[in-house]
Amino acid sequence: MTPPTLGARAARWYVRVLRCYPAGYRARFERGMLDGFAEELDAARRRGRLAATWCWCAAIVDAVRYGLAARRAEAVPARPRLSVRLEGLWQDARYGARGLIRSPGFAATALVVMAVGIGLSTSLFGLMDGLLYRPWPLPDADRVVAVYGGGATGAGDANTSPVKFRYLRDRAQTLDLVAHRDGYLRLGLAPDEELMASYTVSGNYFSTLRVPIAQGRGIQVDEDVIDRPVPVVVISHGLWTRRFGRSETIVGQAVRLNDVEFTIVGVTGAGARTAESAPDVWVPLAMTPLLNPGRGFDQDFLRNPDYCCVRLAGRLRGDATSQIATVELAALVDQYNEAVHAGRAGMIVAGTWLADQPGGTRVLQVFAMVMAALLLLLVVACANVGNLHVARAMRRRRELTIRYALGASRWRVVRQLLAESVVLAGLAATLAVLGAFVLPRLVFGMLDAPDLDLTVGIRVPAFAAALAMLTVVTSSLAPALQATRRLASTQRAGDEPRLRLRSGLLAVQVATSTVLLVGAALFGRSLIQVSTFDPGFDVAEVSVLSVFAPPNTVDSTRQDAMIDSVRASFAEADLPLGEVNTVPLSDSRFHTSIWRPDEAEDEAETVYTLDVSPGYFDVLGLRLTGGQAFGSSDTSGAIMINETLAERLWPGEPAVGRTLRGGGMGGDLNVVGVVADAYLANLDRVEPTLFRQRSSRSVGVNMRALLVRTDPAQVSRARAAALAVEPEGRVTARALRSQFENALALPRIAAAIAGAIGLVAMVLASVGVFGVFSFVVQERASEIGIRMALGARGRQVVGLVFRQTSWPLVAGLTAGLGVAMAAAPMLRAYLVGIGPYDAPAFVAVIVVLALAACAATVVPVRRATRVDPAVTLRQE
């Protein structure tokens, strides 16, 4: 009888079914199985189709069931199943945890050190993530761009007039442009009403940016038409909650803003933001003239191409990129400069996250520097933990040897040693993530900072986990490998390599903390320099007077009247009074471009620009080095400049009597005087400065500051005079000193942070020094005992210990100083009054480290000299 054979198709299918079985199994039995199936199928077919189908089904079920069973059976002896291997890891982890519980001192020390190290970096990372890399929270946020004026010169100001905005908006093909101008509006009628932060926005603002709306709608294009504006307002979710109790009938309600009646048409969604900050109210740009009827600037703002500024943003169309948009806008700006109004070339189109914005690079640099310092600190911490591991592994050597003798592989023993530090690092990272969650909130809660999205995304835990891994590798891999070396040999491994490892770790520690301490010392020195340094103008004896018209006054003439009476009061007493648009060292800056008549406008200098009255120089004690101060008779073309600017424009030549162009003024400008350099804008450097004669046009209501010599009697006389004109107005005085203190806040914080990091690093390094010295003394106790018994003096013993242990100190210090010297120039921009190679700072670091090292060695060295020869000899 010839056996039936399967058809080719059936055979193919059955072979496929048989894949359920492991390969070895199939090799042995496939032929037989095919045989059997052929017989069965043949028999089944003869009984009918149904039986044949049933036969197939049964074969499949059979193959799956026994195939999987065979695979399972086969997997076990070859290689532990995954669950088994994981179980091994789990076992290791549990073993590690038990070991840690048994030595709580070690565990707690290592955990605290690692948690602090990882936690600080993680918190900073979380902050960076939240601060620098979050786009504005709008739909399709990655298509929304911020647009800056400037271009080739790289100046990141938003130098755009409404006229220029409309020109660009109507022509740009690659993106839809929107504009806003920020300011303040008074809501309601009560005289003590607070001012609301406002954005006056172009009509397409809401539709283009797709600002989330909670109630009603956004402002529409037909509501922002010049001369025919519709008084509609969109309020923020915050204002809606705060002032209107989330009223459901808010839409359609009327409100007064600066005495103009508006209709509320919408409420933005919670947390909606279309720039770094969010205003309380949005109104159409075309409403600008109506909101401040008394202000000439606002009347012409929408039509005069000289008037600036609106801030631009946009949404990229189609698949345009910001590079393409930048190119297109640059071309359009050229056209505009040709056809409408000459101005600066170029535009910058950038993402809306802070890191991408023109000022963001500097912020990023600061963050990167602090992050680098914190990571270095982590290295120091890791070296300490590594030292602890070395000591611990040494104590456990007996146990390790037994494990090895019982058949554990070296890798298995290493894994067990690593397990402990993995458990530690895991705990530390968990604490770190918790810290990163809490710390920035705490800090920002105290600082009353703007709304920050500090949601901890996946990136923060990932960062912490990566750091934890790094910690494990750097702190315990080398000790573990070292501890398991030569486990097989019966002889005790020498202590020499262990000491070498510990000394190496110590050298790394010393080097790293040297770098950090140099940073701290530089910042500290810089701070001392700043607080004792002469800003070039009189800080101590000057007060700033602020004059406030009665609340609710839209017309600036009433404030002018008050200021006039203050002026008169000072003139009567024959005391100087200086007026300026920007108080020295304040945050607000005003820049213009200036160029020589023989230069092209492209080569213009960007200069810090001040509008001042003649009394300004007297009050601040600014010295003239050439020419004369403004007189009351000067024509509008008279300007003064500081020495820095004079030196830039006409190096080595007198500047008085020369002519300039630009400066935000038309026509030729005559330099009538040169002023001695002073740190008027900020404390790190003297900016090239242009002084323009104060005119009523160039000074806005919010920018009017009066500077006087501090004299309480005169201030109260002036106040009385002003209040006689406007009984409900206010006149306040504050010391210019406070402005100076404010300007010092940032260097102080920088010095404090650098100092704290440096100090922690030094303490950790001292602990490392202590550990290594103690180790040497302990290991060589018997030798020291013998030497002492043979008559060695304490000093010789100390010398012995030092000879063996001082090289990491010297090597670390040398390397650290080298690295610090290489890295110090990076700090140049942040140092005031000193260079990056400031000798006192470097010397201070060396002295401090030497002292710390000596302090750390006192105890072990004393222990060494107290070794009792009798005791050690008995131990032998």
Q: Count CB atoms within 10 A of the CB of residue 158.
A: 19
Nearest-approach distance from CB 62 to another protein, in angstroms: 4
Q: Is residue 59 near another protein by the rule CB under 8 A?
A: yes
x/- contact string, 70-109, with another protein (CB under 8 A)? Answer: x---------------------------------------
Nearest-approach distance from CB 16 to another protein, in angstroms: 15
Which of residues 23, 27, 57, 69 is near another protein by CB under 8 A? 69
- Cα dihedral 360, 323, 332, 592 in deg (nearest 10): 20
Nearest-approach distance from CB 67 to another protein, in angstroms: 7
Reported as half-sphere exposure (CB side, CA atoms, 13 A), residue 592 has a value of 21
Q: Is residue 34 near another protein by the rule CB under 8 A?
A: yes
Beta carbon nearer to another protein, 27 or 822: 27
Phi and psi at 18, nearest 5°, equal: -70, -10
Beta carbon nearer to another protein, 13 or 244: 13
Beta carbon nearer to another protein, 36 or 654: 36
**Three-state SS for 79?**
coil
Which of residues 41, 44, 67, 721 is near another protein by CB under 8 A? 67
Which of residues 6, 44, 52, 63 is near another protein by CB under 8 A? 63
Contacts of 480 (CB under 8 A, 6+ apart): 389, 393, 414, 417, 418
Reported as half-sphere exposure (CB side, CA atoms, 13 A), residue 798 has a value of 13
Q: Which run of H or E residues covers position 281?
A: strand 281-284
Q: Is residue 33 near another protein by the rule CB under 8 A?
A: yes
Q: Tell me the C-alpha distance between 186 and 549, whole Å.
A: 14
Which of residues 13, 66, 95, 184 is near another protein by CB under 8 A? 66
Nearest-approach distance from CB 39 to another protein, in angstroms: 6
Q: Is residue 589 near another protein by the rule CB under 8 A?
A: no
Beta carbon nearer to another protein, 4 or 188: 4
Q: Tell me the C-alpha distance between 440 and 445, whole Å.
A: 8
Q: Tell me the C-alpha distance between 397 and 387, whole Å.
A: 15
What are the helix (H) ranges across 148-269? 162-171, 205-209, 237-244
Q: Is residue 13 near another protein by the rule CB under 8 A?
A: no
Which of residues 35, 560, 601, 711 is near another protein by CB under 8 A? 35
Cis omega before residue 309 (within 30°)? Answer: yes
Beta carbon nearer to another protein, 63 or 776: 63
Which of residues 12, 19, 31, 459 is near another protein by CB under 8 A? 31
Nearest-approach distance from CB 45 to another protein, in angstroms: 16
Q: How far is CA 97 from CA 418, 595, 623, 765, 776, in A?
A: 11, 72, 72, 27, 29
Q: Tell me the C-alpha distance between 98 and 225, whole Å.
A: 75
The conformation of residue 473, written as its DSSP 8-state character, comes to I
Nearest-approach distance from CB 32 to another protein, in angstroms: 3
Beta carbon nearer to another protein, 60 or 792: 60
Q: Tell me the C-alpha distance between 369 and 440, whole Å.
A: 18
Q: Is residue 29 near another protein by the rule CB under 8 A?
A: yes
Q: Tell me the C-alpha distance between 311 and 305, whole Å.
A: 15
Beta carbon nearer to another protein, 63 or 168: 63
**Three-state SS for 699?**
coil
Strand blocks (E) in 73-221: 144-149, 175-186, 195-201, 213-216
Which of residues 8, 32, 632, 727 is near another protein by CB under 8 A? 32
Piece of the chain touching another protein by CB under 8 A; list 27-35, 358-366, 374-382, 759-767 = 27-35
Q: How would you classify the pairing of strands 195-201 and 605-612?
A: unpaired
H helix and E strand count, the chain: 26, 21
Piece of the chain touching another protein by CB under 8 A; list 59-67, 541-549, 752-760, 811-819 = 59-67
Which of residues 16, 19, 28, 866 is near another protein by CB under 8 A? 28
User: Residue 227 CA to chain centroid, in angstroms?
Assistant: 44
Q: Which run of H or E residues covers position 332?
A: helix 322-339
Q: Is residue 688 near another protein by the rule CB under 8 A?
A: no
Which of residues 42, 62, 560, 711 is near another protein by CB under 8 A? 62
R_g over Cα of the chain? 39
Judged by phi (left if over 0) then psi (alpha if -120 to 50, else beta), residue 252 lies in left
Q: Return the structure tokens found at 814.
A: 């040398």
Which of residues 23, 27, 57, 58 is near another protein by CB under 8 A? 58
Give me the count of residues in the chain. Answer: 876
Piece of the chain touching another protein by CB under 8 A; list 22-30, 144-152, 192-200, 586-594 = 22-30
# residues near another protein by CB under 8 A: 23
Beta carbon nearer to another protein, 3 or 727: 3
Nearest-approach distance from CB 12 to another protein, in angstroms: 17
User: Residue 194 CA to chain centroid, in angstroms?
Assistant: 32
Which of residues 7, 36, 359, 497 is near another protein by CB under 8 A? 36
**Which residues make up the interface to another protein (CB under 8 A)?**
2-3, 5, 25, 28-29, 31-37, 39, 58-59, 62-63, 65-67, 69-70
